[in-house]
Structure 1
């Protein structure tokens, strides 16, 4: 089972307008073609961005193997200037990441890519922590463009703990990822599964389904962590979804807490 959050986003010193041929990267779930041709400021990299990609997660140890195909889409905000440097919001927590650019080459975390003539970044994210005893690797082919000059929040997460304590946080990075995989070994055989991931700078929801369904909810700084694997009651549903907006409702409880809330995403129209 792939329990990794994949930070799959990159900024470049070239503005990613995405107009013209070659920008319409797509997979079975996600495409950049819906965001092409927007009027953005070519003199600044600050703004709102969209990245899409596909790839795989592979884990092997002795006779055990977990092989998962992934598709991913991420919205994120970049702030800063050429004088102070640019920072990208992270979907791994409430912090920002720096970007390194040398000529047409771009390096960010586990990503290495290049800038194409039409201002689109494409490259490979490779997180390989394999050792002599095991393989543990995530590899994604990614493409991304800038869609707006806005550096404002792209959404909110709200959680009501049921005791009148309501927590609301701004979202500046939001990632959707879906997976299909098979795990198993020679003794137990193979089991197919599906997975859904909803990561942001504030909270995450992870769902894994084989014969049973396991759901994990983590609201980072609000003291909320619930997991059906631990016996907690957790559920979520996608209320609405379009190219510019998404709402995911969630609820859960354990012996000490009850929570109801939602993730509400709204990208700038321009």
Structure 2
């Protein structure tokens, strides 16, 4: 009888552990920010908070202007909160949010993390749940207009040069900031827009008005290269998936192009309403982040 009671107790503990496992969808904003830092329910940067955007969605807000190194702690706080213990995360990023997450994973993704209880204080830090682990539980990342490769708009000073983030988003700086191949085995699925805009004058190949295909497509190398949609005779193709691009350029490890804007329909800005290339990622998160 004692053995039976012990087995029942162990079964109940195991079931309780399974029941407490929760999936979250984290959204990491880009330049300019707008959401309330520390408030994971503040979706001001993206659009109406009521819009479906993945299971248990949380906004990982940072100021969108300070250096990547200084803002990484805010991402680490969120990853600790929702992506440790039995909990797992899906992550969506926009623009410089891609650079920020890539930097964080490369530099801190192999470190010891305290398991948290997913209950955040006003500063965005969650309480300890007991124990520690290495890195975070992340299923995958979907990056809209990723800036891991930087933007030529930063190179020419199109934005205020006193802004620390602008210095970080210069193409040579962004590409040398961390080891882009070190994603801790987590896949980055890249979404590249091509509607262009005034910024297209200085952006090589196809672009969304801020990020050229070389960056939004996760293309490796120390500098940007000119890449376009199929059918453009004057520019090599950005190819889907992990396949090398026309002309031989390759993607960083664990980077795959999930969407290339062949119709040139999607721009960079969210327009405060989940718009532009973010709309494509939002739809993907709604259907796949469960």
The TM-score, its normalising length taken from structure 2, stands at: 0.26
Structure with the higher strand share, 1 or 2: 1
Structure with the higher helix share, 1 or 2: 2
The TM-score, its normalising length taken from structure 1, stands at: 0.28
